[in-house]
Structure 1
Amino acid sequence: MKHVIAVLALACLLVGLAVSASGADQVTTVPVHFPHGASSATQKGHFTGYDSVHYTLDANAGQVMRVSVSGSNNASFNIYKPGDEPGAAEAIGSGGVGTPWEGKLPASGEYIVQVYQMRASARRGEKVDFSAQIAVR
């Protein structure tokens, strides 16, 4: 009987892993374009669970970028320099609601601003509505 229970528990675990592996996280990529004559833009978005939004924009070395988010308290962000990808490289900056980031950019090229939520709320499948303010000067 113990053997049957162990086999059933293992089968449930494997089915759970297969289901979670098949539900790939959705990444939405949105190019950021500043209005003519402006050096900032506000982007509104939403996602659920482990999904995320990647805002891409070109900037030059030495420029200063400022990023802030508002809306859901679950919204957090990371900034990646040209050539770096979320999950494969260390972010050059990060923040969340009430914690903006500002820094001098180290290289010229396409930057990624990743908006996501922390694991605890992502695991619960919470929905995040947010506004991201991105400025480069």
Structure 2
Amino acid sequence: MARRALLGAAVLAWAGLALAAPVQPDLPPARKVAVAAGATQALSGTLKGYQLADYLIPLEAGQSVVMQLRTSNPSGYFNVDAPGATDGAMFIGSTSGNRFETVAPVSGDYLVRVYLMRNAARRNEVARYSLSVRAGAHPGKAAASDARVAGTPFHATASIRCMPAGGQPTTCEAGVIRREAGAGTVRITLPGGAVRHVAFADGKAVSSDGPAGLEVERAGDTSVITLGSGDRIEIPDALVTGG
């Protein structure tokens, strides 16, 4: 009898937790929006409560993009996830504002999500929004004279100094795809196997596909980069430019 009473209490407790959990609406499919190079696309709509609006914006590695959100509700924001990202957004509007300007670190579909912060969503507030997306020109191509490393897409590979978040200094494997005028993308394999891409423009590191962007310091002829994940990498100028 006591066992039945305990079982009944457990079932009731589980049911109570289930009823207390917030009910999320079905997530609508993301809308793919191709933005012509040099053009601006305006996206608009209305959100209520926990509703979301998702867009997929195709970009090429090295292509610049500017996104600007205007909304009737001060709790309306947008996030941006790099293609294939699983560990956090590369841009978070609630902490960084409603304007995002970057150089795409990798080619693919960038997920842009418009949403209301929880404080407004739980009150079932409404937000009318307009999101403008301006894509830059297609990135320059690599010089034909810049040979590739056999069996890879890279123009050069190297072991570079790195330090995982909370870890000890070590080395990471990196490869670069170079483009014109000091532009390119460096692919880094971190200890543990995670992969990050860092985009360069005019020889300077400008963006990463990891969570929360990056910070850059200069040490001689090296870019010392701290990723939003806390990982630290050192990329020599010679790897990027070939000089």
| TM interval, short-chain normalised | 0.7 to 0.9
Distance 1:37 1:59, change over 3 A: closer
Q: Describe the SS at the equivalent of 1:66.
A: strand
Distance 1:99 1:20, change over 3 A: same
Distance 2:20 2:51 in 1: 16
> Conserved in 1, the CA contact under 8 Å of 2:43 and 2:131?
yes
CA RMSD of aligned residues (A): 2.9
Q: Describe the SS at the equivalent of 1:27.
A: coil
Superposition pairs of residues 16-27 of structure 1, within 5 angstroms: 17-18=18-19, 20=21, 23-27=23-27
Q: Describe the SS at the equivalent of 2:113.
A: strand
- Runs of 5+ in structure 1 lacking a partner? 1-10
1:92 aligns with 2:90: yes
- Runs of 5+ in structure 2 lacking a partner? 1-11, 137-243
| Relative contact order higher in (CA < 8 Å, ≥ 6 apart) | 1
Partner of 2:82: 81
> Conserved in 1, the CA contact under 8 Å of 2:70 and 2:98?
no
1:123 aligns with 2:122: yes
Give the share of equivalent positions with the same residue, in percent: 26
Superposition pairs of residues 49-60 of structure 1, within 5 angstroms: 49-60=49-60
> Conserved in 2, the CA contact under 8 Å of 1:26 and 1:52?
no
The one-letter code sitting in structure 2 at the alignment partner of 1:103 is: T
Distance 1:37 1:134, change over 3 A: closer
Distance 2:68 2:92 in 1: 9
Distance 1:31 1:42 in 2: 13
Distance 1:136 1:74 in 2: 26
Superposition pairs of residues 60-75 of structure 1, within 5 angstroms: 60-72=60-72, 73-75=74-76
Please say which structure displays the higher CA radius of gyration.
2
Residue-pair matches, total: 125
